Chain A
C-alpha cells in the first residue's frame, strides 16, 4: 500500500502540530444566505445562532440581492449549468465576452480576461510577459498571497519594498535601471490593515523610472473612488495603471471569478499564455449572468457605495468613541487592534456570544504582536446593526479593560 502507516502517522503528527501551535482553522457552518444578519452553527453541533456579520467581503451587499439572484436564474435557464470546456476550446459564450467588456469599461481600461478566481488571475499574470531575469518585479511586502505565488512562478528577478514606503520603492527603482522591464506590484486596499496604496505617487515614480504598474484592487472594485471604480479612481490615476487584477468574489456579488484588465497587448498575452486561463474551465454561465447584472447595477448608481462609505465613517467613529484602538484609514476594512493573539481570540469568542460575528487574526496571518479583529462593513448594514455591534464591542472591551488604551498599554497588560 502506497499510503503506508508511517506516512499516515507523519501527516497526523503534522496536523497535531498545527493544533498545538493554535493555528488550526475550523469552518463555521452558516444556515442562511450571505447577508448582514446570518444564522451560524459554531462550533459544529452547537445550536444555531442569529448574528450580525462583520467579517464578510460583501461590501456592496450584492451577495443575495434580488436582482442578482433573478439574473442568475435567467442565466441558468437560458445558458445552462456548466461549460464543460476551457475558454478557448468551446467554453466562451457571448455573455463571457459581454462581462469582459463591462469589466474593462468599468475599470476604464482597454480589455479584460476572466479567470475562475482572482487567485488564478494573480498566479498567472506575470508569466505571460515578464519573461527573463532581465526583468524585475518590485512588490509591496504586504501584497496578497496569490500575487506572492505568481511572482515566485515568474522567471524575473524578485524584489520587494517596505509597505507603502515610497522612498524605499524609489531606491529599488533606481537600483534596477539596468533591467529591461520594471514592474511595480501593489494591492489597492491591503486586506489586513485596510490602508490604501499611494497610487498617485506610485504612478509618478513609474513614469520617472520607466516602470509598469500592476494593481490588485480586489478589496476596492465597486466602491472605492467617487464612482466606485477602485483605488485608481480614488487616487486620481484612472488610465495610468497598466494592469488591474480584481475579483467577482467580494464587492461584485461575492460568488467567484476574477479578472486581469489592462493594456490590450498584455491582456491578449494572458489569453495566449496564462496557464490558469488556458487549463481551467470557463466560469459557469450562472455566475457570468449574475456578474453582468452586478456590473449594470454598480455602473448605473453610486447609491450602494455611498451607503457603504457612510457606514464606514459611522462605524469608525462609533468604535473610536467607545475607546477601541482601530487602524486609521479610508476603507471599509476596520481592524480593531488587540496586539495579543489570545486576547484577539477571547474577544472574538465573547462578541459571538453577544451576537456579533467577527474573527481574530494573529501571527503568521499578521505580524507578531499585531493581533487584531478585522471588521468589514457592508452596504447591507443598517445603523441599528452598527449600533448593536458597537455596544457589544464596548461591553466586551470593558470586560477586558482595554477601552481607552493604546498599543503600549494593551501590550503592557496582555503581552505582545
Chain B
C-alpha cells in the first residue's frame, strides 16, 4: 500500500515533468488546480491516467477519470485510493 504523501509527491513530480516547460516557473502544490487553470488540458490528461494505471497496475474507468476528479494532485490521490 502506497502512503498518501508518497503518492502525492510522485504525482506532483510527474505533473511538473510532463506539463511544465523547463523555463516555466509556475509553482504547483497538492491543491493547485491543474485542468481548470489550463496547466493540463483534458486531452493531455490521458498521459497522467496512463502513467498511474501502468505504475500501480490499476484500471481507472473513464467514468471516474473526469476533469473534475483530476483537477488537483490531492483529488487524484483521493481517487486513486478507491482502486488500491
| Interface set of A (CB-CB < 8 Å, partner B) | 139, 141, 143, 148, 151, 157-160, 162, 363-364, 367-368
Q: Residues of B with Cβ closer than 8 Å to A?
A: 18, 21, 37-38, 41, 43-44, 46-47, 49-50
Q: Is the interface of B mostly helix, strand, loop or mixed?
A: loop
Question: How far apart are A248's CB and chain B's nearest CB, in angstroms?
Answer: 26
Q: Is the CB of A368 within 8 A of B43?
A: no
B17 shortest CB reach to chain A, Å:
10
Evaluate contact between B46 and A159: CB separation under 8 angstroms: yes
Decide: B37 and A141 in contact? CB cutoff 8 A: no
Instruction: Give the residue name and chain of the B residue nearest to A368 (CB).
Output: B38
Give, as a whole number of angstroms, the nearest-CB distance from B34 to chain A: 12
- Residues of the B chain whose Cβ atoms lie less than 8 Å from the Cβ of A160: 43-44, 46-47
Top 4 nearest A-B pairs (CB, nearest first) are: A368-B38, A158-B46, A141-B44, A160-B44
Residue in chain B with minimal CB distance to A165: B21
Q: Which residues of A sit under 8 angstroms from B49, Cβ to Cβ?
A: 158
6 contacts across the A-B interface (CB closer than 8 A): A139-B43, A158-B46, A159-B46, A160-B46, A162-B21, A368-B37
Shortest beta-carbon distance from B80 to chain A in Å: 18
Q: Which residue of B lies closest to A158 (CB)?
A: B46
CA distance A157 to B62 in the complex (A): 12
Closest CB in chain B relative to A140 CB, distance in Å: 10
B44 cross-chain contacts in A, Cβ below 8 A: 141, 160
Q: A364-B38, A368-B38 are in contact. Are A148 and B43 (CB under 8 A)?
A: yes
* A159-B47 in contact (CB<8A): yes
Whole-angstrom distance between the Cβ of A37 and the nearest chain B Cβ: 37
Whether A141 contacts B50 by the Cβ 8 Å rule is: no
B38, A363: Cβ atoms closer than 8 Å = yes
Measured in the bound complex, the distance between the Cα atoms of B18 and A310 in whole Å is 38
A162 to B15, CA, bound (A): 12
The reply to whether A367 and B38 form a contact with Cβ atoms under 8 Å apart is yes
Closest to A147 in B: B43
B38 (CB) vs chain A CBs: closest residue: A368
Question: Chain B residues near A143 (CB, 8 Å)?
Answer: 43
In the assembled complex, the CB of B1 is this many whole angstroms from the nearest CB of chain A, namely 25
Given the complex, which residues of B lie within 8 Å of A157, measured CB to CB? Answer: 50
Smallest CB gap from A163: residue in B: B44
Looking at the assembled complex, report how far the CB atom of B55 sits from the nearest CB atom of chain A, in whole angstroms: 11
Whole-angstrom distance between the alpha carbons of A151 and B45 in the complex?
13
Residues of A within 8 A of B21 (CB): 162
- Chain B: which residue is nearest A149 at the CB level? B43
| Inter-subunit contact A141/B38 (CB<8 Å) | no
A157 to B59, CA, bound (A): 11
Assembled-state Cα–Cα distance A254/B51 (Å): 40
A151 CA to B49 CA in the complex, in Å?
A: 15
CA distance A388 to B69 in the complex (A): 50
Q: How far is the CA of A160 from the CA of B46 in the complex (A)?
A: 7
- Give the CA-CA distance A158 to B41 in the complex, in Å: 14
Chain A's nearest CB lies how many Å from the CB of B41? 7
Which residues of A lie under 8 Å from residue B37 when comparing CB positions? 368
Determine the chain B residues whose CB is within 8 A of the CB of A158 once the complex forms.
Answer: 46, 49-50
Please name all residues of chain B whose beta carbon is closer than 8 Å to the beta carbon of A162 when the two chains form the complex.
18, 21
Q: Which of A148, A160, A368 has the most CB of B within 10 A?
A: A160
Closest chain A residue to B42 by CB distance? A148
Q: Say how far A341's CB is from chain B's closest CB, in angstroms.
A: 12
Contact of B38 with A159 in the complex, beta carbons under 8 Å:
no
Provide the bound-state CA to CA distance between A162 and B24, in Å.
Answer: 14
A180 CB → nearest B CB, Å: 16
Please, which residue of chain B has its CB at the minimum distance from the CB of A138? B47
